[in-house]
A and B are shown apart, each in its own frame.
Chain A
Amino acid sequence: MISRNKELEKKLMDLLEKAVQDANNKDCAMIVNAVIALYKATGEKEYADKAQQMLDKYAINAAQLTKDDGIDKYLWGNAFYNIGDYSDDSKYGDKAVELAACFDKQQRNKIGYFSSNSDEEIILNDFYCTQPFYMNYDTRNGGKEHYNDIIAQYNAVSGVFFDSCENSSDEYIRPYDLLMKNSDKIIKKMESNKGLYENLVYYAASLIDTMELMAQPLYEIYRRLQEYYKVAVKLLLLSKEQENGQDEAVYAMLSYVILKGCRMKALLTEKYENEAVKLLENIFHSINTQDQTFEATYVATAAFGYSEWIRNREYQDYGINKGGVLWS
């Protein structure tokens, strides 16, 4: 573990506790997940206890959540699972399963993925709400019946977003190379559409979080997700948008995405981590020096970033430090 900054941790926890009080449902779930991420990175039970209290207080019970037609509710799913693991109380796992039942009737858009919008508009950050939990549920309780659906949803959106084609020859062509063919066009699109950049960050986060929660023997699916993830990160780093005007919360999430990818060996640490560390250091500086109230998303993403910042990225630590992955 890279050395912890306990002062910063304390500040982050204070800010998270403050922010959760007025947060909307989505931000609230983000905050609880961020506290869990801090617990997983540090092993501090105090954080897990806090996350459990927050979950008990703020998560609308699963029965009510299931009545909500939106996409955001699924962000609670992994929080239920994680606190269930921590507390050994089966009620949390039951709630996760109850919530996952909504996937069966969840609205999909025209190209086939879960979306709050049924037209063809691509809302990449919907994936962040749905897919990591969908994967976690399917790995733990779903018999892996939906792995094909999960990869199909990613394939569908990637086909449209990256305007990519499948390899039709018998020779192996890496999906990454097929996807990067239109990189210039996508970068231009992002320059003119600030929201697209943010969407792509959350899409990349959904990919790395989903990869972390899947069963390793279905390796071809893992590698396909990794290709999408690498393309997303590459485009984000290539895009000039990074230097003109994204919110710091977006950069905090991007840092989390990159550092987690380094830890999981989805990215080469020596090539990618510096960029993420630089972004995060700016954010930590703001948090340390500014005595103001930060937005819930900002604090949550900063905590996500911090949780990966302190974790070892030099080697894959699955199992050795009980890194919180299901790869077994």
Chain B
Amino acid sequence: MELVLVTKTSRSVVVELTDSGKYYTKNLYDIYVNDKKYMESNKVVTSIYDLKPDTDYKIEVKYNGEEVNTINVRTDYEFVTLNVHEFGAYGDGVHDDTNAIQCAIMSCPPYSRVLVPAGEYKISSIFLKSNLTLELAKDAILSAYTEREKFPILPGVIESYDEKEEYNLGSWEGNPLDTFSAIVCGINVENVVITGQGTIEGNTSFENWWKDCKIRNIAWRPRLFFINHCSNVTMHGITVQNSPSWTIHPYFSDHLKFIDVTIKNPANSHNTDGLDPESCTDVLVLGTYISVGDDCIAIKSGKIYMAERYQVPTSNMTVRQCCMRDGHGAVTVGSEIAAGVKDVHIKDCLFMNTDRGLRVKTRRGRGKLSVLDDISFEDIDMDNVMTPFVVNSFYFCDPDGKTEYVSTKKALPVDDRTPSIKSLTFKNIKATNCHVAGTYICGLPESKIEQLTFENIDFSYADDAKSGVAAMMLGCEEGCKQGMVVSNINKLILKNVHVVGCEGEAIVADNVDKIIK
């Protein structure tokens, strides 16, 4: 077993226990800190808290009493701790602590931390600043109000005085629109760490933000966590739950890390994606647990206005050692991907009980900049996923998504509105207890998927497989135990692919130019 330091702060250390497990280690390990037993862990990515700043620590991992591996770490230097109680926060679940916490944040000098001790802190929206460590201690809850009048609004677009430029703050489903500011919000900040064992609680229910959720009411719904044009932001350890809409939404930001985070929203909640990086670069999601009402991770790059104007795809993203369960898709690319998505790699993950494993959602109208390339899934275990792989180029969940232009299966002329998919690779994947289909892949007839590779793939089906609709597109009929349904592809590579127990043909291919086995 390898033991690797992942990251550290002045008060915590994160290590990775690599014993070929996915999210969970194969064995249960004992963690010792300076020769004293600290905890037991069965998670590959494990966090150690309550350390002292600028101090040397020996982290030792034992299995059955035997030392397996050891590393030595020195925690970071820390100047001061700003305890929010000293700034007037009550933490009693009644008093509005927004201002007190905001005051502590704005007062925080470099190399210091704002500490939120155990307690329930009622807040509306707090804003991050640069060079900040915000620590939510164990049993600390930032508990959000749900009255929309308490939240500030981030305007979608503010025009410059010379009328030549614009300043974009709010974002809703790929467009620059007025939205309520997030419960925790960062605008143009850098070098921020949010860490700890505490919770950001959205308190959303069907009585507040999820009620009439498709209707704009004053402004669009807030995110739980939103960062816009930020850099070097790390979220570590905390739990975020019951979000009003997308839970974590990094937007036009780079150098981002999400490590050992827990994201939880009810399975029946509306549009509560877990983590949606949009037009972001260099993103790492590691050791994170996600169980939500929509897509666990949805990778985006805006709709056509933002894509044409700013041309920033999401790129250089890695998702490793994560567990995703429930929700519509485990990892989704789309549907707002007008500036493209490239160089995205998902590895060593567990997908459980989601409707789909990998899900690509695109459609005519996303535009010529909407190019998906170099996206891979490797070493993934899926269980009880309805359809492990879905690529849908006719996605209908848009205001104009059910128009003839979007839905026709006839080839239309390729023009500025036509998106494209270049290379998708799936390797070393075991999908057990599938229900609807092994794969359901539809490219556009006028812009076929260039290359699709399946290597070392095993599909098997649940004995009591449920029927369902594999893709949200017009013309996709309900089905059960379908094999690999593929259409509109230039080159399909199938190496060592086993489909066991499907009903009908294992591979149903339509308009596929070349199949290499």
5 A-B residue pairs with Cβ-Cβ distance under 8 Å, sorted by A, are A220-B303, A220-B308, A265-B159, A316-B155, A328-B215
What is the interface of chain A mostly: helix, strand, loop, or mixed?
Answer: loop
The answer, among B176, B216, B311, B402, for a CB contact under 8 Å with A328, is: B216
Q: Is B54 an interface residue, CB under 8 A from the partner?
A: no
Contact present for A172 and B309 (CB under 8 Å): yes
Write the residues of chain A forming the contact surface with B, with a CB cutoff of 8 angstroms: 143-145, 147-148, 172, 174, 215-220, 223, 230, 265, 268, 271, 316, 318-320, 327-328
B163 proximity list for chain A (CB < 8 A): 230, 268, 271
The answer, among A216, A220, A271, for a CB contact under 8 Å with B177, is: A216
Contact present for B403 and A144 (CB under 8 Å): yes
With contacts A328-B215, A328-B217 taken as known, whether A268 is within 8 angstroms of B400 at the C-beta atoms is no
With contacts A268-B163, A328-B216 taken as known, whether A144 is within 8 angstroms of B399 at the C-beta atoms is yes
Q: Which residue of chain A has the shortest Cβ distance to B309 in the bound complex? A: A172
Q: Write the nearest CB–CB distance from A207 to chain B, whole angstroms.
A: 17
Q: Write the nearest CB–CB distance from A129 to chain B, whole angstroms.
A: 24
Bound together, the chains give a CA A216 to CA B218 distance in angstroms of 13
Q: Write the nearest CB–CB distance from A165 to chain B, whole angstroms.
A: 14
Q: Which residue of chain A has the shortest Cβ distance to B165 in the bound complex? A: A174
With contacts A172-B308, A216-B177 taken as known, whether A145 is within 8 angstroms of B398 at the C-beta atoms is no
Q: Write the nearest CB–CB distance from A268 to chain B, whole angstroms.
A: 6
Q: Is B173 an interface residue, CB under 8 A from the partner?
A: yes
The answer, among B161, B176, B398, for a CB contact under 8 Å with A268, is: B161
Bound together, the chains give a CA A262 to CA B186 distance in angstroms of 29
A174 proximity list for chain B (CB < 8 A): 164
B194 proximity list for chain A (CB < 8 A): none
Contact present for B399 and A218 (CB under 8 Å): yes
Contact present for A143 and B398 (CB under 8 Å): no
Bound together, the chains give a CA A217 to CA B63 distance in angstroms of 55
Q: Write the nearest CB–CB distance from B311 to chain A, whole angstroms.
A: 7
A143 proximity list for chain B (CB < 8 A): 400, 402-403
B157 proximity list for chain A (CB < 8 A): 265
Contact present for A327 and B159 (CB under 8 Å): no
A215 proximity list for chain B (CB < 8 A): 399
Bound together, the chains give a CA A63 to CA B173 distance in angstroms of 41
A268 proximity list for chain B (CB < 8 A): 159, 161, 163
The answer, among A172, A219, A318, for a CB contact under 8 Å with B176, is: A219
**B371-408 with Cβ < 8 A to chain A:** 398-400, 402-405
Bound together, the chains give a CA A144 to CA B177 distance in angstroms of 20
Contact present for A216 and B400 (CB under 8 Å): no
Q: Write the nearest CB–CB distance from B432 to chain A, whole angstroms.
A: 38
The answer, among A145, A217, A328, for a CB contact under 8 Å with B175, is: A217
B310 proximity list for chain A (CB < 8 A): 172
Q: Which residue of chain B has the shortest Cβ distance to A166 in the bound complex? A: B416
The answer, among A218, A230, A318, A328, for a CB contact under 8 Å with B400, is: A218
Q: Which residue of chain A has the shortest Cβ distance to B164 in the bound complex? A: A174
Give me 19 other A-B pairs in contact (C-beta within 8 A), A218-B399, A220-B303, A220-B305 excluded.
A143-B403, A144-B403, A145-B403, A145-B404, A148-B403, A172-B309, A215-B399, A217-B398, A219-B176, A219-B305, A220-B304, A220-B308, A265-B157, A265-B159, A268-B159, A316-B155, A316-B178, A318-B216, A328-B215
Contact present for A219 and B175 (CB under 8 Å): yes
Q: Write the nearest CB–CB distance from B88 to chain A, whole angstroms.
A: 31
Write the residues of chain B forming the contact surface with A, with a CB cutoff of 8 angstroms: 155, 157, 159, 161, 163-164, 172-173, 175-178, 215-219, 303-305, 308-311, 398-400, 402-405
Contact present for B216 and A327 (CB under 8 Å): yes
Q: What's the count of A-B pairs with C-beta under 8 Å? A: 62
B176 proximity list for chain A (CB < 8 A): 219
Bound together, the chains give a CA A320 to CA B219 distance in angstroms of 9
Q: Which residue of chain B has the shortest Cβ distance to A315 in the bound complex? A: B155
B305 proximity list for chain A (CB < 8 A): 219-220, 223
A219 proximity list for chain B (CB < 8 A): 175-177, 303, 305
With contacts A172-B309, A217-B398, A220-B303 taken as known, whether A148 is within 8 angstroms of B173 at the C-beta atoms is no
Bound together, the chains give a CA A220 to CA B175 distance in angstroms of 8
Q: Which residue of chain A has the shortest Cβ distance to B417 in the bound complex? A: A148
Q: Write the nearest CB–CB distance from B345 to chain A, whole angstroms.
A: 27
A318 proximity list for chain B (CB < 8 A): 178, 216, 218
Bound together, the chains give a CA A268 to CA B164 distance in angstroms of 12
Q: Which residue of chain B has the shortest Cβ distance to A317 in the bound complex? A: B218
Bound together, the chains give a CA A145 to CA B398 distance in angstroms of 12
Contact present for A216 and B308 (CB under 8 Å): no
Bound together, the chains give a CA A327 to CA B218 distance in angstroms of 10
Bound together, the chains give a CA A148 to CA B177 distance in angstroms of 21
Q: Write the nearest CB–CB distance from A258 to chain B, whole angstroms.
A: 14
Contact present for A216 and B403 (CB under 8 Å): no
Q: Which residue of chain A has the shortest Cβ distance to B178 in the bound complex? A: A316
Bound together, the chains give a CA A145 to CA B400 distance in angstroms of 7
For the complex of A and B, list the 6 residue pairs with the smallest distance between their C-beta atoms, beginning with the closest: A328-B216, A219-B175, A144-B400, A220-B305, A220-B304, A328-B215
B161 proximity list for chain A (CB < 8 A): 268, 271
Q: Write the nearest CB–CB distance from B118 to chain A, whole angstroms.
A: 38
Q: Write the nearest CB–CB distance from B174 to chain A, whole angstroms.
A: 8
Q: Which residue of chain A has the shortest Cβ distance to B157 in the bound complex? A: A265
Q: Write the nearest CB–CB distance from A226 to chain B, whole angstroms.
A: 10
Contact present for A147 and B400 (CB under 8 Å): yes
B175 proximity list for chain A (CB < 8 A): 216-217, 219
Bound together, the chains give a CA A145 to CA B176 distance in angstroms of 23
Bound together, the chains give a CA A217 to CA B155 distance in angstroms of 15
Q: Write the nearest CB–CB distance from A216 to chain B, whole angstroms.
A: 6
Bound together, the chains give a CA A265 to CA B304 distance in angstroms of 21
Q: Which residue of chain A has the shortest Cβ distance to B304 in the bound complex? A: A220
With contacts A172-B309, A216-B177 taken as known, whether A319 is within 8 angstroms of B217 at the C-beta atoms is yes
The answer, among B159, B173, B216, B403, for a CB contact under 8 Å with A319, is: B216
Contact present for A217 and B173 (CB under 8 Å): yes
A217 proximity list for chain B (CB < 8 A): 172-173, 175, 303, 398-399
Q: Write the nearest CB–CB distance from B477 to chain A, whole angstroms.
A: 21
Task: Choose among A144, A147, A218, A219 the residue with the greatest number of B CB atoms under 10 Å from its CB.
Answer: A219
A218 proximity list for chain B (CB < 8 A): 399-400
Contact present for B404 and A216 (CB under 8 Å): no
A230 proximity list for chain B (CB < 8 A): 163
Task: Choose among A218, A220, A223, A268 the residue with the greatest number of B CB atoms under 10 Å from its CB.
Answer: A220
Bound together, the chains give a CA A148 to CA B364 distance in angstroms of 12
B402 proximity list for chain A (CB < 8 A): 143
